Chains A and B, each alone.
Chain A
Amino acid sequence: MSRTSKPSRRDFLAATAATSVAMGMGQIASADPPQTAASRPDIPLTKGEPEIYRGTAAGAVLAQLRAAGVRTLFHTNTSGFVPFWEAVYAAGDVQVINMTHEGQAVAAAAGYTMASRNLGFFFGSHVGIPNALSNTYNAWKDRVPLLLTYSGGQREEGKDGFEWWDNTLGPTEAFTTWRGDLEPEDVTDTLRLAIKFAFGPPSGPVTLTFGAAGQKVEAPIHPIDLATMRVRSRAPAEAIEKLAQWLIEAQNPLFVVGSQVGIEGAYSEMLALAEKLSVPVAETMHSLYANFPNDHPLFVGELQAQRYPRKQDLLISFGESFTAGREDERGLTASGPRRIVHISHDSQALGRSFVPDVTILSDLRTAIRDLSDAVDAIATSDRIARIRASRLAQVSTLTNSLKQSREIALRAQFDSSPVTWERVGFELEKVLDKDAVIVPELGTQYYKIYRQLKLGGTNKQRIGRTKGDALGWGVAAAFGVNLALPDRQVVALQGDGGFLFNQSEALWSIARYEAPMLIVVMNNHSYNESRARNMLNGGTFYDAGKDFNGYLGDPNVEFTKIAEAYGLKGEKVTRAGDLASALQRCLRNMRDGKAVVLDIDVEVDGAPISQPTWYQRHSIADVRKKKLNG
């Protein structure tokens, strides 16, 4: 990925001398991983001695990261990391991605990690911790394994010193699985512990302070296979057999696929199990990934919107935590009493937000395979085939009808301007690659786009919207996705309101690292989601037709000019008929390695109000009593 040329041997020697990196150590992580017990079957239980790193503590951290396969680091400017930079320079195969705001850097690291299943690593100033908190929270809600490393170790507490507060990592406590201090005496042991905590489960961000990075150390470096870092679990056979029996006997079962399917990449297993008995598949409103192909005849959409089957008798959640609140609760209760089974690889998620009839702690992929095998063991292939055929006919009838309704809805306002959300989805589906990656950060109108896009399975991948919902995540997260998946088209779907939550900063990195992304701004000149919700049940402001905080059209932001300020291309579309040609121009620019910001005037929906452009006006220029000089 890195285009940085490898340092010359002279530069390398100079750097290693500066950081006291032992000559032998410089090759540890760049060479093949040291031979381990796994590759020596004659002594299968023998673990090899770790390599010993001799150099700076910062160099040891980098060596351990490299031994874990980490080659991409995210950074926001600060002093205090010189030894780390020297180690990076010496290594020659590590790319540091500079971001201009800690929060954006954390979002980019999260996007990178979700797309790559690698480990996201950020280093920056501890003074930037408050900046990073919002997207640390999002990463925590999304269970993204991140190491967020901040300059400054423990100092004298209680003195309110310069750039200092007591309990440095305290503000991150609610959003992290662990916090630690990378002390020189056990720097790589602590780092490995941090990696373990990051992968959990529950997985999530770990914050670390990293003080005396220039101190000389001798530190063990262990090879780490990140794919094995998450603690594994498997359900007892009797629990799976009981569930298989229920599944075969159920007249109207329903699967809910959740984010853990995506975290484990167990898509094909999920699809195969659903198809085995033609079980309809739903997702929750806050599903983080496209965990099931949405053009599949078994996919019935959102759980809370389920109308059929009318009398569900079994609901099995595969890795959905149901922690999104009221919508999830409605989904779980709207169809009345039924058996509910919750399968999760995270023991802390089981039964947290509702009480299922059966809880199963297991890796999702393993549980799905076990359940499939158990069904095969209990039911004859003829019985399975009969269930599959009859139920597929029923579910397909439903999903075909719903598809027809969506087509009618799409065509109803197809040529309207401002452009409908459905039309945007329709045009994107026509031009994007089949395996493009969509990174949305939109309100609940996103479904109007999703329904037109083919997502999941072998189709387009979706990452986001973050379950945290804290705005200011999407553009940087999409950039991180593009770093991880440089051969895929990456499309950030943004609302205009969300973009204005500190997101233009991410364009700097997108431009510098030549990420050929498409950033679509769904511009309805308002915080439409909150306006619609605020006005839903009427009230004083609805009666007055006034909305105190929703209107964004004054000033009317020209997002294309923001793009141009960063040297990127901008496209503006106000009419539906112009969208297709604009998208073609965007794709041409992307092929040339340039990101494009496509600003589309889209429809407002929800309850209309009589004074939609009203806001509480205030002018400092008008109220000032003193004339300014000049």
Chain B
Amino acid sequence: MADHRAALLAIALVMWMPVAGRAQGGGDPQVEKGRLVVAQVCTTCHTTLGRMLQVHKQTREQWRDLVFFMISRGAQVMPDEIDAVTAFLVATAGRDRPAARSPAPDSKTR
């Protein structure tokens, strides 16, 4: 039951999480759609999603890749929701340039 409470808390955090533009009366419909999907889909596993979004700032491309990555792992995001989820993540935890690189030993590869 502790996990159920944690999931509910995570949903609440996501639903109230501030996004860029919202404070100025934004409310981008795509971002809000993404918010709902994230609350439904991601928080079932990521009960610390609020913290994760505070910590991990990514570019749009990185967030989009991560959405693909999670779909492949089983996240139930529908085709028409991919852009919306990406938009929400960018609005919540975006950055302009990549902060890190992958740990391949040969830096010539991605």
A contacts, CB < 8 Å to B? 301-302, 304-308, 326-327, 329-330, 333-334, 398, 401-402, 404-406, 408-410, 412-413, 416-418, 421-422, 444-445, 447-448, 451, 524-526, 536-538, 542, 545, 550-551, 553-554, 556, 574, 601, 603-605, 607-610, 612-613
Q: Which of B44, B47, B78 has the most CB of A within 10 A?
A: B44
Query: Could you give 29 example pairs across A and B, Cβ below 8 Å?
Result: A306-B44, A330-B3, A330-B45, A333-B4, A333-B7, A334-B4, A334-B7, A334-B44, A402-B78, A405-B71, A405-B78, A408-B79, A410-B72, A412-B65, A413-B65, A413-B68, A422-B72, A447-B74, A448-B73, A536-B48, A545-B100, A553-B104, A603-B102, A604-B102, A605-B69, A607-B56, A612-B101, A613-B103, A613-B105
Q: Report how far A167 CA is from B97 CA in the complex, Å.
A: 61
* B1 → chain A closest CB, angstroms: 6
Q: Which A residues are CB-close (under 8 A) to B41?
A: 305, 307
A-B contact count (CB 8 A): 139
Most buried by A among B65, B71, B99, B106: B71
The one of A418, A447, A545, A551 that contacts B72, using a Cβ cutoff of 8 Å:
A447
Name the distance in Å between B54's Cβ and chain A's nearest Cβ: 7
> Closest Cβ of chain B: how far from A423's Cβ, in Å?
10
Alpha-carbon distance A610/B110, docked complex (angstroms): 14
Residue from A304, A330, A422, A604 within 8 A of B103 (CB atoms):
A604
Q: Does B22 reach chain A (CB closer than 8 Å)?
A: no
B: number of interface residues (CB 8 Å): 43
Shortest beta-carbon distance from B43 to chain A in Å: 9
> Which residues, 57 to 110 on B, are CB-close (under 8 Å) to A?
62, 64-66, 68-69, 71-79, 82, 98-106, 109-110
Output the nearest chain B residue to A451 by Cβ-Cβ distance.
B72
Q: In the complex, what residues of A have CB within 8 A of residue B23's CB?
A: none
- Interface contact B73-A608, CB-CB below 8 Å: no
When chains A and B are docked, how far (Å) is the Cα of A609 from the Cα of B103? Answer: 8
Contacts of A301 in B (CB 8 A): 74, 76
Residue of B nearest to A399 (CB): B76
Q: Is the CB of A556 within 8 A of B76?
A: no
Assess A612 versus B102: contact at CB under 8 Å? Given A304-B44, A418-B110: yes
Chain B residues within 8 Å of A404, by CB: 78-79
Q: Is A402's CB under 8 angstroms from B76's CB?
A: yes
Give 13 A-B pairs besides A301-B76, A304-B45, A405-B71 with Cβ atoms closer than 8 angstroms: A305-B75, A307-B41, A330-B47, A405-B77, A409-B69, A412-B65, A413-B68, A418-B110, A448-B69, A451-B72, A524-B103, A574-B106, A601-B104
Give the complex CA separation of A384 and B50 in angstroms.
Answer: 44
Q: Which residues does chain A contribute within 8 Å of B65, judged by CB atoms? A: 412-413
Residues from chain B with a CB closer than 8 A to the CB of A609 are 100, 103
Judging by beta carbons under 8 Å apart, are A405 and B101 in contact? no
Q: Which residues of B contact A334 (CB under 8 A)?
A: 3-4, 7, 44
In the complex, whether B40 has a CB less than 8 A from a CB of chain A is yes
What 4 pairs across the A-B complex have the smallest Cβ distances?
Answer: A612-B103, A553-B105, A538-B55, A608-B100
Q: Which residue of B lies closest to A335 (CB)?
A: B44
Q: Are A406 and B51 in contact (CB under 8 A)?
A: no
CB of A406 within 8 A of CB of B71, answer yes
* Closest-CB distance, B65 to chain A (whole angstroms): 7
**Would B3 and A329 count as touching, CB distance under 8 A?**
yes
Give Cα A551 to B104, complex, Å. 9
The listed residue (B3, B52, B74) touching A536 by CB distance below 8 A is B52
Q: How near does chain A come to B74, taking the closest CB pair, in angstroms?
A: 5
A610 to B45, CA, bound (A): 26
Q: Given A405-B77, A409-B71, A418-B109, A537–B55 Cβ distance below 8 Å? A: yes
